[in-house]
Amino acid sequence: MMAAFKQTLRGRLKLNEPMARHTSWRVGGPADRYYEPANLDDLAEFLAQQNSDEPIMWLGLGSNLLVRDGGIRGSVIITSGLLNKIECLDDGSVRAEAGVTCAKVARFCARQQLIGVEFLAGIPGTMGGALAMNAGAFGGETWQHIAAVETIDHQGRRQLRQPKEFEVAYRRVKGLPGEWFVAAYLNLRRGDSNMATARIKELLEKRNTSQPIGLPSCGSVFRNPDADYAARLIEASGLKGRCMGGACVSDKHANFIINNGNATAADIEALIEYVAAEVESQQGVKLIREVHIVGELA
C-alpha cells in the first residue's frame, strides 16, 4: 500500500520504473516505486513515511540480481552513487556507506596505506551488497574485515551493530529482521600502498582475462561447491555456449550467463534452472545459486 509522501523528502521518487535500466543483466520489469535518497537522513525520513507493510528492496549496481519480467511490488531504494561517503576515521578504521562500490573501497584503502581488501576490486557491486551476502573474490571475503556495521530499520532508526550479532557464512549473512545495512566499518592493517595498488591491478587484469567483462551479466551465477568450481562443472557438462532465447552460457567463463541483447528475465531464469539440472544429472553435484531472483513473473 502506497504511503502519502510529504514534501520534506529531498530525494527523487519514480513510479513504475523499469528495472532493466538498473540491473547489470539489463532485464527486469517495473518497480512500483523507485527512490533515490539524497543522503542517510533523507533515507531515514523516506522509510519513516512508509506504511509498515510496504515491501522494501535495496539496490546497488544491480549485479548478482535477476529481476523477473513482472517487476517488483513495493519500493526499491537505490544506494549506488548516492550513499557514497567513504572516510578514514581517527581510530584508523574506514567507514564506507552502502552505495560505495567495492572497487572504490579497495582503491581508497590502498591510497591510505591500509591493506587486506584488495580483493574487493574484483567484486562488481557495492558495500551494501557485499555486506548482505559476504561477497568475496580471489580468496578474500568481506566480513573478514568488518569491525562494525550501521543498520537502518523500517522506521528510519539507525543502529551500530557488532559482527557477533550476525551469522556469517560463505556467501550468506543472517542478520536482525527488519534491519538493513547502510554503512560498514573496516578494520585493516597498515601496509605498503604501492604493493596494494599493484595487487589491485593484478587482480583486475586476471578478472578481465578470465571473465566476460563488458557484456550484460550478473557476475557468477552459482556458488562454488566445496573443493571444486561451478565453472568447471558447467563446462564439463558441455554447457558452454548453450542458449535459451537471448540468454547464453558464456564461452569465456561457464559460470557467467550473458544477455545477448534480446534476453528476457524468463530466458535467463530458464537457462539457470537448465544448467543446474544438467550439472546435477551429469556430475552428481547440486549447484546453489549465488544470484538472487526477485519479483513477479510476467
Helix H or strand E segment including 90: none
Report the pLDDT value the prediction gives residue 138, as an integer from 0 to 100: 85
CA distances for 104 relative to 99, 132, 143, 197, 219, angstroms: 10, 18, 17, 12, 18
Q: Span 229-235, mean pLDDT?
A: 97
- Examine the residue annotation and report whether 17 is marked as an active-site residue of this protein: no
Report the pLDDT value the prediction gives residue 6, as an integer from 0 to 100: 64
Answer whether residue 3 shows pLDDT above 60.
Answer: no
Cell, residue 6 = 510529504
Has this prediction a pTM greater than 0.75?
yes
Task: Provide the CATH number for the domain formed by 230-294 in this structure.
Answer: 3.90.78.10
Answer whether residue 84 shows pLDDT above 60.
Answer: yes
Strands, E, within the chain: which ranges?
Answer: 12-18, 30-36, 56-59, 65-67, 72-78, 86-88, 94-97, 114-115, 136-137, 140-141, 146-153, 158-161, 167-169, 172-174, 179-186, 189-190, 243-244, 247-249, 257-259, 292-294
Answer whether residue 276 shows pLDDT above 70.
Answer: yes
Confidence of residue 185 (pLDDT cuts 50, 70, 90): very high
Tell me the domain boundaries of the chain: 12-78, 86-210, 230-294
What is the rounded CA–CA span in Å between residue 94 and residue 281?
Answer: 46
Give domain 12-78's CATH number out of 3.30.70.1350, 3.10.129.10, 3.30.43.10, 3.30.1360.40: 3.30.43.10
Of residues 73, 161, 171, 289, which has the active-site annotation?
171
- How many C-beta atoms lie closer than 10 Å to residue 189's C-beta? 10
Q: Span 162-190, mean pLDDT?
A: 94
- Examine the residue annotation and report whether 24 is marked as an active-site residue of this protein: no
Answer whether residue 103 shows pLDDT above 90.
Answer: yes
Cell, residue 119 = 580483493
Q: What are phi and psi of 196, to 5 degrees?
A: -65, -40
Strands, E, within 128-244: which ranges?
Answer: 136-137, 140-141, 146-153, 158-161, 167-169, 172-174, 179-186, 189-190, 243-244
Q: Span 247-257, mean pLDDT?
A: 97
Bridge partners (DSSP) of residue 153 are 179
Confidence of residue 224 (pLDDT cuts 50, 70, 90): very high
Q: What is the mean pLDDT of the chain?
A: 94
Fold that domain 86-210 belongs to in CATH: 3.30.465
Choose among 199, 194, 168, 200: nearest CA to 181.
168
Residue 188 CB contacts under 8 Å (≥ 6 apart), including other chains = 92, 93, 94, 109, 114, 115, 116, 117, 145
Report the pLDDT value the prediction gives residue 134, as an integer from 0 to 100: 94
Of residues 63, 220, 237, 250, which has the active-site annotation?
220
Answer whether residue 64 shows pLDDT above 60.
Answer: yes
The 3-state DSSP class for residue 176 equals: coil
In the chain, pLDDT over 90 holds for what percent of residues?
87
Q: Span 210-235, mean pLDDT?
A: 94
The residue count of the chain comes to 298
What is the rounded CA–CA span in Å between residue 171 and residue 148?
Answer: 18
Report the pLDDT value the prediction gives residue 1, as an integer from 0 to 100: 43
Confidence of residue 286 (pLDDT cuts 50, 70, 90): very high
- Examine the residue annotation and report whether 171 is marked as an active-site residue of this protein: yes
Confidence of residue 289 (pLDDT cuts 50, 70, 90): very high
The residue with greater pLDDT, 92 or 28, is: 28
The residue with greater pLDDT, 50 or 70, is: 70
Give the pairing type, strands 72-78 and 30-36.
Answer: parallel
Confidence of residue 200 (pLDDT cuts 50, 70, 90): very high
Answer whether residue 54 shows pLDDT above 80.
Answer: yes
